[in-house]
Amino acid sequence: MFKSYHKILLSTVLVASVTSTTVFAEDKSISRTYENGKKVIDGGVTYPVVNSKTDAYHVNEVASKGGFTLGRTPTANEIKAWDIDVMPDGTGLPDGKGTVEEGDEIYEAKCASCHFDFGTGGAGYPALQKGNAYEGQKSLTNQRLTPNDDGPVRVFGTYWSKASTLWWYIKTGMPHPAPMTLTNDEVYALSAYIISINELTIDGEELDDEYELTKEKFLKLKMPNENGFVPNIDGPTGPDDTRAYFNDFSNYGNGTRCMENCFEGEPVLARISGSGISDYQPPIVNKKELPAQEEAPEAPGQKAYEASCAVCHATDSMGAPAVGDKKVWKSVVGKGIDKVYGNAIDGINGMPPRGGTALSDDELKEVVDYMMSQSK
């Protein structure tokens, strides 16, 4: 839950969503506690076995008491391959390094198509930064009292409380069409770039293009909203801290455990001063598409090659010299250009005269010239 800055600010809907984690079901036989007697905090329930049944479902009581022989104990290497998460305190973060400039290049190649230039987002994909980061941090005190009000800016640099979220999510979930394909160094480089565009600092140092991010430096990154969420679920006491938070009803709602007739009249809402972000620096443009790229003019012979010759020369699977194979074409050209032209016109080995086309001598020579130009 995002930390509030006023005692009374939650609507009835939010109160219901919060208290639902501790409300007990009407059926008193349904347990919402663990075997140690502590309340569950994830919404789960357990159903006691009565007469070999849980409600309408039969239970194999013999099997439920153990004795399973399926599976085996995983090996140390299997556990290592599975255990790849990065904890909030940085546990699990691997070694690696990458610069802001390298991250910029990777971002343009693999990320900008969805998150757009400089991480501004669009087309249903989230923004990674929103203009002036310091103004965004101020927005953490905002509340939405009407549909048109600004809430906190939900981007990495101004909202998320743990830096580990960035590294772990990029590593395991990005790029969207091919997750788990980035190396650790590439993830460090992308993290450095995103930290840079969010105007965050590490040890008071701004990240310029040459800044190299390492594991040691990443662990020093302090997020502006580090303590912005309650309850605190981190660390060995996290579950008990969470239970204590939700057991104290003064932390949310109107201070009383309640599921109906909770308010007399409308809930009391308090407005926090501040109007949110109004001036982005630099200004965010509405145009989201990538800059138009000028198409290179078509080379002489290119069209004829693509129409009549690429079927054999695009790869070496047909036994023909593959366009782009520099070593092979160096050998071909070494025979002399007249010889190469002659082979194209008269045919050679499995290739028929003119490649089986009706191209003229001059047109064939243009095709050969194009193929050689693409194989230097």
Domain end point (choices 183, 218, 253): 218
> Cβ(231)–Cβ(242) under 8 Å?
yes
SS3 99: strand
Domain count, the chain: 2
Structure tokens at 289: 């598409």
Q: Are residues 199 and 315 in the same domain?
A: no
Structure tokens at 329: 């074409």
Q: Are residues 210 and 320 in the same domain?
A: no
Instruction: Note whether residue 115 is domain-resident.
Output: yes
Q: How much is the pLDDT for 376?
A: 84
Half-sphere exposure of 272 (CA within 13 A, CB side): 17
Q: What confidence tens digit (pLDDT) does each residue in 239-264 have?
A: 889 888 888 877 776 566 677 776 67
Instruction: Note whether residue 363 is domain-resident.
Output: yes
Chain centroid offset of residue 323 CA = 37
Least confident of 158-167, 210-219, 289-298: 289-298
- Which residue did the predictor score with more confidence, 232 or 263? 232
Q: How much is the pLDDT for 207?
A: 94
Under 8 Å CB-to-CB from 110, ≥6 apart: which residues?
A: 174, 175, 182
pLDDT confidence tier of residue 169, bands split at 50, 70 and 90: very high
Q: Are residues 307 and 213 in the same domain?
A: no
Q: How far apart are CA 211 and CA 75, in angstroms?
A: 39
Instruction: Note whether residue 297 is domain-resident.
Output: no
> Cβ(312)–Cβ(318) under 8 Å?
yes
Instruction: Note whether residue 47 is domain-resident.
Output: no
**Torsion of the alpha carbons at 6, 11, 14 and 19, rounded to the nearest 10:** 80
- Which residue did the predictor score with more confidence, 351 or 105? 105
Q: Are residues 201 and 102 in the same domain?
A: yes
Instruction: Note whether residue 154 is domain-resident.
Output: yes
The domain in which residue 187 lies consists of 84-218
Structure tokens at 306: 């693509």
Instruction: Note whether residue 360 is domain-resident.
Output: yes
Q: How much is the pLDDT for 132?
A: 82
Q: What confidence tens digit (pLDDT) does each residue in 51-97 have?
A: 888 778 888 777 666 666 677 888 999 988 888 889 888 999 999 99
- Which residue did the predictor score with more confidence, 132 or 103? 103
Domain end point (choices 195, 218, 241): 218
Q: Residue 363 sits in a domain of what CATH number?
A: 1.10.760.10
- Model pTM above 0.85: no
- Residue 105 in this model has a pLDDT that exceeds 90: yes
Helix axis angle, 361-373 to 337-346, nearest 10°: 120
Q: Are residues 202 and 311 in the same domain?
A: no
Q: What confidence tens digit (pLDDT) does each residue in 261-281 have?
A: 766 766 666 665 555 556 666
Q: Are residues 92 and 198 in the same domain?
A: yes
Domain end point (choices 203, 218, 233): 218
Q: Are residues 197 and 311 in the same domain?
A: no
Q: How far apart are CA 14 and CA 5, in angstroms?
A: 16
- Residue 185 in this model has a pLDDT that exceeds 90: yes
Instruction: Note whether residue 51 is domain-resident.
Output: no
Q: How far apart are CA 24 and CA 254, in angstroms?
A: 19
Instruction: Note whether residue 312 is domain-resident.
Output: yes
Q: How much is the pLDDT for 210?
A: 95
- Residue 11 in this model has a pLDDT that exceeds 70: no
pLDDT confidence tier of residue 191, bands split at 50, 70 and 90: very high
Q: Are residues 91 and 212 in the same domain?
A: yes
Q: How much is the pLDDT for 197?
A: 93
Helix axis angle, 184-197 to 100-110, nearest 10°: 100
Rg (CA), the chain: 32
